[in-house]
Structure 1
């Protein structure tokens, strides 16, 4: 049995390169998620405008912002362009979602390879004391006053 000096119990310190790479991977993952969320909002806006314009006379004037310039068009000209944009946005979101899943797998593999644990995360090899009964701070570290 190993004592307090058992080398298996104490993980080696992480090199700054490993930590920097891990942080870079996390930042890339956050960037992908942020862009996907932004595009989801844009997709919803396109949907609202399209639904509104479908109920309007196709010859009615409407205005569209193109490269920072407000351009006068008709509904029948703008509606197909908006629908095309919505389709493109949807495809981009799908691609970002796949990239996000791939980045998540890469991040998990990197964490496992280098035995990285986040602050507040339990080490599965060493269950926390008082984890089931009578332990303080349950509910995953949520403080309720």
Structure 2
């Protein structure tokens, strides 16, 4: 798929901005997934603590893929413990991906000479003398 470029063969500012926004979106998705898995881990810990005090033959219900399934505590508890052991590994892998994504964003910023401004500074207040001629300015809110 060919990208449209300016007259000088370089990507347009709008394409650079879209690429940056895409990278930031991927970074946010990774952070959200990490947060979700950390909440799942805490829930697993609470449920395991609760079920350990219950007799193994007691009936319990578990949500599997949006469907409530009836099982016994003896069947569910080992599955929950295995999941609890795997969640930290998944969280660690996602944290590594998040770190790599941050490095990728930093490299993208350097490659395209992007100056990121936070919402506190109005981009129209930047004087032309202060900014280099080939600098892309990106204003991020929040």
Give me the TM-score of the superposition, normalised by structure 2: 0.69
From 72, 81, 84, the counterpart of 1:83: 81
From 38, 42, 45, the counterpart of 1:44: 42
Ranges in structure 1 where 5+ consecutive residues have no aligned partner: 1-13, 127-145
RMSD over aligned Cα atoms:
2.0
**Cα distance in 1 between the residues matched to 2:90 and 2:25:** 20
Q: How do 1:1-145 and structure 2 match up within 5 A?
A: 15-120=13-118
- Bigger radius of gyration: 1
More moved, 30-39 vs 61-70 = 61-70
**Cα distance in 2 between the residues matched to 1:39 and 1:64:** 18
Ranges in structure 2 where 5+ consecutive residues have no aligned partner: 1-11, 122-129, 131-142
**Cα distance in 2 between the residues matched to 1:69 and 1:114:** 48
Give me the TM-score of the superposition, normalised by structure 1: 0.68
**How many residues are matched?**
110
**Cα distance in 2 between the residues matched to 1:23 and 1:66:** 35
The runs of at least 4 consecutive aligned structure 1 residues that moved more than 6 Å come to: none
| Alpha-carbon offset, residue 68 of structure 1 | 2.9
| Alpha-carbon offset, residue 78 of structure 1 | 0.5
**Cα distance in 2 between the residues matched to 1:66 and 1:34:** 22
**Cα distance in 1 between the residues matched to 2:68 and 2:112:** 53
